[in-house]
Structure formats: structure tokens, C-alpha cells
Structure 1
Amino acid sequence: MCELLTGNQGSVNSIPVPDLYSSHDEADSRITLHCMYASLQPTTERVIVRSPSSGVFLLLLSFSDAISKPLIFDTNSGNNRRQLNITDLAATISKRLRYAIIGLHAFTGYDSTSRFAEKGKLIALKMLQGDQDHPGTFSRIGILEAISGQDMQVIETFVCQLYEKPSHSSVDKVRYDKVRQCFKGKKGILSNSEGVDLSQMPPCQDVLMLHNQRANFQIKIWRASSSNFPDLPKPENNRWRLSSSGGLEIKWFS
């Protein structure tokens, strides 16, 4: 909605608000603009967002500095309904960590991104907080059109830790070890797939790269939530091909 509704005695008037015009497709990323606009109005005492979405909550947490009035998140229903003061919560968390959390949210699974089976977000969040490199890496995801090679390696190490292999830095090595473990003590290793639960294995390196690119695109949209008309790469122009080394090369073309 890009109109301000006013009225009295049963009448309603709509007034166009150019500051709310936006090219964002989803309500989740438009909410930030509405909150920013509302917080600048002289009659606004506080801004309340009613939503069941954890993504909206984390997005507002990331952009709380840009909202000048107290920001309240109203969620759940019935006896479980509660209001969370995002402004107060944000004051207890560093900006880098807030930016990292929104990156981790898309990376570990969202409506538009895949997730790691049986690897909950709470486990990933504890890992994020327990390593000095991870917050910096996940706070950078979505800033550029492509994730750097160094950050790709940190992310791959993070996934290895997610699958209980903290000493590994290659998801392909984790997959190899898990398959060998399934057939330990058995004859004819890999003669059949009995005993191998593929859902318990991390993605291979090439698939992880594609997952990272998808998450990067979603996070890039979120990080542009404070912009009315963000300059985003077009998904239909995404191209990938096999490199000479057998890996995947992914580039954006405008």
C-alpha cells in the first residue's frame, strides 16, 4: 500500500504517499520502508508490526537503527500472543551480529531457499556466536552480487561443523567419511545403498555453491529493504556453467 488512509464519521480518504512507492515484490521487504516512514511522523509514539513471520522479526531487528521510534513486534495469537520490543533487544546485540543473523536465516532455510535436513536454526545460531569468523562472513553475504572465494570457504567449513565434522573443511570429504562409516565392517562397500540415509549428508560442494548463490540473492533483497527502488540483479539473467576444473562458475549479467 502506498496510500495513507484518513477519515472520520465513517468516511475514508486515501492520500498517495510517494515515499512508500517501492519496487519490492513481497510485503516482508516493504515493511521496513513503512516502519521508517511511520517513525518520522510527528504524531507517532511507537511503531507496532503485527506478523507471525520470524523473517519479518529478524529483518526489523537488522534495520532497527533506521527506525527512530520504539519498534514493537506483535506476534502469535490467543494465550501465546506477545509483544517484543525490538528496539530494546537491538541495543543488546551488535550491528554486525544482527546483520549476520539475517544472513544465517536465509542460509539455513527460508521460503525461497533450501534447508539442511534436521539441522535447526538454533544449532546454527549457537555455532555463529561461538566462532569469531562466522559473524563477519554471514554479515557480508548479500552485500555483493557474488560471495567471495574466502567467504565461500568459511561457509563450507561452517557446514562441515553443522554435520559434526569440525576438523573438516570440505563437504565432499564429510560425505565420503559418512558413507564409509555406514559400511564400516561390511564387505562389498558401496555394493548397495542400504544403510545410507542421504538426508543426513551435507550437500556436495557444487550444490552448496548453488545454495550459497540463492541465499545470497535473497539476503541481497533483504539488505535493500530500506531502499524504495533497489538495484538488484535479475534472476532470469543468472548463468552458470561447468569450469575447466569441474566446478561451477556462476555470474550475474545485467
Structure 2
Amino acid sequence: MMNIPDTFAEISSLLFDSITTSGCGDIIFSTDQYSPESIKSMERKHRGCGEKLIIGGGATKRPTEWKQFLTNEENKVQFIRLILKQWSDDNCASKLQGRKVIFICEECAYLTSGDGLTTRKTEIPLLRSSQEETDTRVVLYSQYAANDHNTNVRIKSPDSDLFFILLHFAGTMGINILLDTKIQRKSRLINGTQTAAELGQEKCTAVLGLHGFTGNDATSAFRGKGKLLPLTKMFKAPQPVTNLAKLGETWTVTEALNDDCEKFTWALYGEKKAEKVDDMRLNIINKLCTKHGKSIPGNVDMALLPPCRKSLTQHVHRVHFQVALWTRANINNPVIPSVGQGHGWLMA
């Protein structure tokens, strides 16, 4: 059984050993940034967060409720700063000799050692980005690796967002992208560049839009529909692919795009007679509540119904905004409008 580290210094050391003994070449270790007005920040506040604790240094004891500790953004920022401080120490020089570790958080630090005795830390302005999530900034890191004459980049992450973002960009980055992930607790190495070539650019972009439309950390999902059914529905005809590929093109949702998303929602729920989602809801309610002209006892689970037009419109606005962020992952500092300006959210 693996011993659980007792202090923050031990956790930091364990992380450092895990990446420097992995047999890889140069490494980029990246964490999320935390903007108080971002989508993710609002979602975290909605879910609640743990108590803020003070990390006095490496000797500070690890809190018993570790997951609760990590729900507080300020706790994570303190922890990340401590890790960078520990990894920049000369005690890590022997494992940095002959290789480099790029640590990206609030700053972009290039850590290396020429003699194995002292650690050198320098700044890399090229990798600075206003994008909050590592999932989005990985595209910049892959471009950096390609410009540094690497032919392959291996990205390790369990997050599904990352796969769909990379799929959208894989065909244009000039480097072979391998995604090291887990599917149903089994390790998988997926060749993103090959998958993107097989699908083609339009389908890769449409799949990214579909991922946002069917739910992720920042957007809601259609209960009981999952990911596979919508993917099958989308690939059955060319029009849904073309329509969903338009998500995120600009920051504004057109009426035509909203109508296209409504049509795809009809297909998602298998309702062919209705032309509006409100009519579709009524048809489904009637089917659930009546059988051969008689009422069925019991309540109808409203969560299984498609959203009404008003709710669907707000969902489309949120999805469009999120996908627009993803499709600008190759830009260090994209101009991003406030989420509260007609994009489906209200600032609390």
C-alpha cells in the first residue's frame, strides 16, 4: 500500500519524482489559473467550497479532508506556489540535470540544471496566456513543442474536454499528438493527429461543438442522452455536422444558429412530428401521462423532458461562449467578452 504523504513538502516531492522519473524528455507541468469572473469560478461558487487554510510552508501538515481543501481556489493557489518554490530549490537540481521542466501557473518558469547542484529558474513569456484552464492552454504548449523541433507530444490528462479541443486543432499544428488518458479506469494512448485526419476538419470542429452542447463542466447536459447517442445522431446526416461546427465561430449567437440547435434537439429526442421544442415537450408529456386514453398514475420526471425554447436558447448561448473559448485556444490573449453580457449567465 502506498504511504499517503503527511506534509505539503512530501506531496510536492512525490509529484516531482513522478514526472522526472517517467522516462520522458522535456516536460511542461501546467495548472489552471483562477479568475474571479470566469465561468468555472462561478460554477465552483455555485457548488460550494471548503474553508480557506494557511499553508505556512512545506512542513505544514496535509489536511485530512483533502478533496474539501481543493474545492477552495485560494487553497489551490497557495499549494501551487509552494510546489513551484520547492521545485526551484537546489535540492531538485540532480533530477533536472540534462533536461528541463516548464512549470506554468501564474508565471511560466523554466527549471533546469547544468551541473546537477544548482537549479536555474528563468521566465518564458511566450507561454503566458490569459486562458484560465490548462485544457485550453495545452494547444499553446503543443505549438511551442512543434516550434522547438519536436515531432511528438504526449499529453497526460483524464479530462475529456482536452481530447475534443486537441481534436479540433490536431490537423493544423504540425506535430504528432498523443493523448495519455484513462477510459473506464483503463489506460489508453490515443493518437489525436491520426483520429483528426480520419474525421476531417469539419467533423472535428462539429464534435467539439457537440461536446459543449451535450454537457461539460460549464454547460448543462440533456439527462439520459449521454454522448454516444448525440454523436450517432450528428453523424447520420451532413447538416447537423455543418450546423454544430458553427458553434463558437463568433461571440454572438444568430437566430439561424439557435434554430439549427433546436432542430438537432428534436432529433436527439426522436420527435419527428413537432417543429418546435415547446410542442415536442407537450407531445412527450401527453405520451407519458396517457395510455390508451387513460391516465397513468405517478408523476412525470420533468428532467427527462427536452428543455423549453426559452431554456434551450440560454443553453445555446452558454455553449456558444464556451466553444468560442476552446476554438481560440491557439491565441495567448484572446479578447474575451464578459460572460454576463448576453452569454447565458448573470453575474452574481
TM-score (norm 1): 0.86
Long gaps (5+) in structure 2: 1-103
- The match for 1:12 among 111, 115, 119 is 119
Over 3 Å counting, the alpha-carbon distance change for 1:100 and 1:166 in structure 2 is same
Match of 2:323 in 1: 219
Determine if the alignment matches structure 1 residue 120 to structure 2 residue 222: no
Over 3 Å counting, the alpha-carbon distance change for 1:239 and 1:54 in structure 2 is closer
Contact 2:253 2:320 in 1 (8 A): yes
Q: CA deviation at 1:132?
A: 1.5
Percentage of identical aligned residues? 29
For 2:198, what is the secondary structure of its paired residue?
A: coil
- The match for 1:205 among 309, 312, 323 is 309
TM-score (norm 2): 0.64
Over 3 Å counting, the alpha-carbon distance change for 1:112 and 1:97 in structure 2 is same
Q: CA deviation at 1:204?
A: 0.3
The amino acid that maps onto 1:228 is N
1:3-56 C-alpha deviation (Å, 9 max, x unpaired):
3222241543222212111111111111111111111103x2311100001110
Of the two structures, which has the highest relative contact order with CA contacts closer than 8 Å and spacing of 6 or more?
A: 1
CA distance in 1, matches of 2:317, 2:251: 9
1:204-250 C-alpha deviation (Å, 9 max, x unpaired):
0000000000001100100110000001111133388xxxxxxxxx9
Match of 1:152 in 2: 258
Within a 5 Å distance, the mapping from 1:82-231 to structure 2 comes to 82-184=188-290, 185-186=293-294, 194-231=298-335
1:145-169 C-alpha deviation (Å, 9 max, x unpaired):
2222122112111111111203432
Larger Rg: 2
Please give the root-mean-square deviation of Cα atoms over the aligned residues, in Å: 2.2
- The match for 1:31 among 132, 138, 157 is 138
The amino acid that maps onto 2:144 is Y
Over 3 Å counting, the alpha-carbon distance change for 1:23 and 1:123 in structure 2 is same
Match of 2:64 in 1: none
Contact 2:277 2:309 in 1 (8 A): yes
For 1:14, what is the secondary structure of its paired residue?
A: strand
Over 3 Å counting, the alpha-carbon distance change for 1:217 and 1:77 in structure 2 is closer
For 2:340, what is the secondary structure of its paired residue?
A: helix
Over 3 Å counting, the alpha-carbon distance change for 1:131 and 1:166 in structure 2 is farther
